[in-house]
Amino acid sequence: ELEAIKARVREMEKEDERLKELQLEAESRFIVSMEAGLFPKTTEEKMEVDQRSIYVGNVDYGGTAEELESHFNSCGQINRVTILCDKFSGHPKGYAYIEFEEKSSVKTAVELHESVFRGRVIKVLPKRTNMPGISTTDRGGYRGRFQARGGLAQWGGYYGGQQHPRMRGRTYRGRARLLPWYFPY
């Protein structure tokens, strides 16, 4: 029984050595692909890739990357076709990005704006570069009305089914935000 355990330990050590070799090989392949430029590293490289890419909107949900590639094949050599999908359901969102080999291909691809792909009129635009720190969804702070922390209290609205009066004077800033500063009970 002891010999069987020792044999199993030697077998596990051999497998461990083999796994370490495979991991080193995979890491070296990853580094080589990074050096080959498959993964853009700096902001300048990302901007350069974005200048060679287009946005395609109103893409049919059943459309595949191969069909999009064949539709835009006349524009130039295509590096990558990305159809974005919802991360929860896995269904396509209805738009895609296509990266070309050359910047001149973008101009010819934009000419296919409002062309028909799988029975739908698609929207083709040059891909814009996202700037770090600039958000298109952030609309600023105050939007025309007061809103408490939880979004429950809005002046002129309803709170718990009853309309609450507008408070005057000092108010307590703790849990009971709408109570006057002196509340004996």
Q: pLDDT tens for residues 138-172?
A: 665 555 555 555 554 444 444 454 444 555 555 55
Mean of pLDDT values over 63-77 = 93
Q: Which residue shows structure tokens 């001149």?
A: 104
Mean of pLDDT values over 33-49 = 70
Mean of pLDDT values over 117-140 = 81
**Residues 54, 66 contacting (CB under 8 angstroms):** no
> DSSP assignment of 125-156, as one string?
EEPPPPPTT--SS---S--SS---TTS---TT
**Residues 180, 171 contacting (CB under 8 angstroms):** yes
Check pLDDT > 60 for residue 135: yes
- Model pTM greater than 0.75? no
**Rounded mean pLDDT of the chain?**
79
Mean of pLDDT values over 102-117 = 94
Structure tokens at 35: 């050096």
Number of H helices, E strands in the chain: 4, 6
What pLDDT sits at residue 43? Answer: 78
What pLDDT sits at residue 60? Answer: 94
Question: φ and ψ at 44, to 5 degrees?
Answer: -65, -40
Q: How far apart are CA 117 and CA 59, in angstroms?
A: 7
Check pLDDT > 60 for residue 97: yes
